[in-house]
Amino acid sequence: MTADAARRVRRPSTGPGSLLEVAVGEFIARGYDATSMEDLSRAAGITKSSFYHHFTGKEALLRAALERALSRLFAILDEPGATAGSPVQRLRHIVRGQVAVLTEDLPYVTLLLRVRGNTETERWALEQRRAFDTRVAAIVREAVEQGEVRADVDPALAARLLSGLVNSVVEWFRPGRSGAAELPDEVARVAFEGLLPAAR
């Protein structure tokens, strides 16, 4: 996401939800470490004291933003489509769900993917991402055991590749683009059916 695109997520308001959007936009545009409370207050058009009325500080904003992205991603794993059916059916559902969350909450997921572990909150987020990948890898392992995926595929590697495919969408997806509604199904189709036509 470009700096200009990141800044467009802002919506001037004193409500905590809108302030969080402002903060996410600034964190993406400037980088979390380089963003000060002065920058956030200026972007929101309010005083620092007004900002502190809603959030205790910069890291609290980061935590709230990352919790939003992670809670939506983990919720996918508890949906019926992710808990019932064959392993590959469940994996397809999870991939579709991840892409849907990404397109609906693009700034929040983008921020999640950019954390590097420099703060306690960032380290927590990285642990959560690893936990998500571990649960997906377990389903890939089931698919291997049931013969739905090639036996020579490493489940952990496959899970990382699936996540990499999904996460790459943040680099080029733009809200409002044509075909956005079909994107989750299209990404899942490519992930599980490939780009080449079926052999005759």
86 assigned to some structural domain: yes
Question: Exposed, middle or buried, 10 (CB in 10 Å: 0-12/13-18/19+)?
Answer: buried
Average pLDDT of the residues in 122-135 = 95
Domain count within the chain: 2
CATH of the domain at 112: 1.10.357.10
Residues 170 and 95 in one domain: yes
Residues 77 and 13 in one domain: no
Residues 70 and 167 in one domain: yes
Question: Exposed, middle or buried, 44 (CB in 10 Å: 0-12/13-18/19+)?
Answer: buried
Predicted pLDDT at 1: 41
22 assigned to some structural domain: yes
pLDDT tens string 130-166: 999 999 999 999 999 999 988 888 888 888 888 899 9
Residues 29 and 90 in one domain: no
Residues 44 and 69 in one domain: no
71 assigned to some structural domain: yes
Q: What is the mean pLDDT of the chain?
A: 88
Residues 36 and 106 in one domain: no
Average pLDDT of the residues in 84-94 = 96
Identify the band that residue 6 occupies on the pLDDT scale cut at 50, 70 and 90: very low
CA distance 116 to 125: 9
Predicted pLDDT at 155: 85
CATH of the domain at 12: 1.10.10.60
Instruction: Please check the confidence at residue 196 and state whether its pLDDT lies above 90.
Output: no
pLDDT greater at residue 196 or residue 134: 134
pLDDT greater at residue 159 or residue 95: 95
Predicted pLDDT at 200: 56
113 assigned to some structural domain: yes
Q: Give how far Cα 160 sits from Cα of 2, 55, 68, 80, 155, Å.
A: 25, 34, 22, 23, 9
Predicted pLDDT at 14: 52
Residues 93 and 4 in one domain: no
Residues 49 and 124 in one domain: no
Instruction: Please check the confidence at residue 11 and state whether its pLDDT lies above 60.
Output: no
60 assigned to some structural domain: no
105 assigned to some structural domain: yes
pLDDT tens string 33-76: 999 999 999 999 988 888 888 889 899 999 999 999 999 999 99
SS (H, E, C) 22-86: HHHHHHHHHCCCCCCHHHHHHHHCCCHHHHHHHCCCHHHHHHHHHHHHHHHHHHHHCCHHHHCCC
Average pLDDT of the residues in 116-122 = 94
Residues 48 and 69 in one domain: no
Residues 88 and 184 in one domain: yes
Predicted pLDDT at 15: 60
160 assigned to some structural domain: yes
Owning domain of residue 32: 1-55
Residues 132 and 42 in one domain: no
Q: Which of 72, 9, 56, 1 is nearest to 31 (CA)?
A: 1
Residues 115 and 179 in one domain: yes
Instruction: Please check the confidence at residue 120 and state whether its pLDDT lies above 70.
Output: yes
109 assigned to some structural domain: yes
